[in-house]
Amino acid sequence: MIPASFDYHAPKTLDEALALLARLGDTAKILAGGQSLIPAMRFRLASPEVLVDLNRIHDLAFVEERGDHLAIGALTREYALESTAVVARSYPMLLDAAKVIADPLVRNKATVGGNLAHADPANDHPAVMLAYNAQIVARGPTGSRTIAIDDLFVGLFETSLAPGEILTEIRIPKPVAGSGGAYIKIERKVGDYAVAAVAVQLELAGTIIKSIRIGLTNVSPIPVRAKAAEAALAGQPPTEAILEAAGQAAAAECSPSADLRGQVDYKRDLVRVLIKRTVRRAIERAQGARP
């Protein structure tokens, strides 16, 4: 399948990119990893007049721990998350997700920023970043701003990024001692989008879940948190009954669609089961009982 024709620019700096976007307006689309955009273009589901390729802007790709947060440049490839020691050591939920995004070849090109900016509820990073309570840094013609992850996803394939704004960095707060996180994804086969997936980041205080954030993948039109499940777990000991109740709450509050991946009742029940398993795994990590 062959894309329609387009004009192409490959700016070398962020300023150059911003200037291009300002000039071209909505005729232009950003090209990052291209692993979602190019397939769409090959089917002519997307036919932008102009592509602004960010891949030459090398200072947008980095993974570094800075004091109280992990900073990830938007053009960081998924593979880089798999191969950076600090991620495995201190942000295992992020590694969980990176390992299940598409396949290893796609992960050599696909970017963390692209995965978020596309705002596809089927993508894996949105739920993870919601669970981490990440911050997004964006640069626009008028300068930089920070967007709380809870404010990023506003519609199907729609973020709160302004026209001409580029997502440049993701900041994940460094988990405190006694924290743990996990991401479990059910997929029909390796490389597929999730039938359903759950991201949990929690902090234990003794045997109680002190705080918890839960993100859900592909069971709603917009990436969402399972707030009712969070409420059922926060301040509670993780007993079977409480986990089951939280699972049921998450199953009820999400809004999956029926498709080839599954019927609605199946997806809801997967959420219920995954909530329990993901919380348990996050707790095991919080207790240092598993990597």
Partner 1 sequence: MATHLKDRVEFHSAKPDGVSVNVPTTDDVRVTTPSKVCGMGHRMKRKEDPRFIQGRGKYVDDVKLPHMVYMDIVRSPYAHAKILKIDASEALATPGVLAVITGEDLKKAGNLHWMPTLMSDTQMVLPIEKVVYYAQEVCVVIATERYIAADAIEKVLVDYEPLEPVIDPFKAMEDKVIVRDDKEQKTNHIWHWEAGDKAATDAVFAAAHTVVEEKIYLPRIHVSSIETCGMVANYDKVRGHMQIYMTSQAPHAHRTVFALVSGLPEHMIQIISPDIGGGFGGKVPVYPGYVCCAVASLVLGRPVKWIEDRSENLQADSFARDYHITARLAADKAGKITGLQVRTLSDCGAADAAANPSKFPAGLYSICTGSYDMKAAHVTVDGVYTTKPPGGVAYRCSFRVTEAVHMIERMVDILAHQLGEDPADFRLKNFIRPDQFPYKSPTGWEYDSGNYQAALDKAMTMIDYRALRKEQLEKRARGELMGIGISSFTEVVGAGPSKDYDILGIKMFDSAEIRIHPTGKAMARFGTKSQGQGHETTYAQIVAEELGLPAADIQVEEGDTDTAPYGLGTYASRSTPTAGAAAAMAARKIKAKAKKIAAYLLEVGEDDLEWNVDSFQVKGSPDKKKSIQELAFAAYTNHPQGMEAGLEATDYYDPPNLTFPFGSYICVVDLDKGTGEIKIRRFVAVDDCGNIINPMIVEGQIEGGLTMGLAPAMFEEIVYDENGQNLTGTFADYLLPTAVESPKWELGKTITPSPHHPIGAKGVGESPTVGAPPAIANAIVDAMWHLGVRHLDIPVTPQKVWRALRKAGVTD
Partner 2 sequence: MSQHEITVTINGEQHTRKVEARLLLVHFIREDLSLTGTHVGCDTTSCGACTVSIDGQAVKSCTVFAVQADGATIETVEGLATGGTLHPLQEGFWEKHGLQCGFCTPGMLMSARSLLARNPSPTEDEIRHGISGNLCRCTGYNKIVEAIQYAADKLRDTKGA
- Residues forming contacts to partner 2 in the complex (CB under 8 A) are 1-8, 10, 31, 34-35, 38-39, 41-43, 51, 53, 55, 79, 83, 102-106, 108-109, 190-191
Q: Is residue 186 within the footprint of partner 1 (CB under 8 A)? A: yes
Q: Closest approach of Cβ 92 to partner 2, in Å?
A: 17
Give the largest CA-CA distance in the chain. 60
The residue count for binding partner 1 (CB under 8 A) is 22
Q: Confirm or reject binding of residue 59 to partner 1 (CB under 8 A).
A: no
Pairing of strands 179-187, 194-205: antiparallel
263 binds, among partner 2, partner 1, none (CB under 5 to 8 A by kind): partner 1
The number of helices, as runs of H, and strands, as runs of E, in the chain is 11, 14
Residues 130, 126: Cα–Cα separation, whole Å: 6
127 burial type by CB count under 10 A (0-12 exposed, 13-18 middle, 19+ buried): buried
Residue 65 touches partner 1, criterion: CB under 8 A: no
Q: Counting contacts by CB under 8 A, is residue 252 touching partner 1?
A: no
Contact track, partner 1, 39-58, x by CB under 8 A? -----x--------------
Instruction: Show the tokens assigned to 93.
Output: 């939920």
171 vs 261 by CB, closer to partner 1: 261
Binding status of residue 108 toward partner 1 by CB under 8 A: no
Burial of 155 (0-12, 13-18, 19+ CB in 10 A): exposed
CA gap 2, 254 in Å, rounded = 37
Q: Which residues bind partner 1 (CB under 8 A)?
A: 1-2, 4-5, 44, 103, 186, 188-192, 260, 262-263, 266, 269-270, 273-274, 276-277
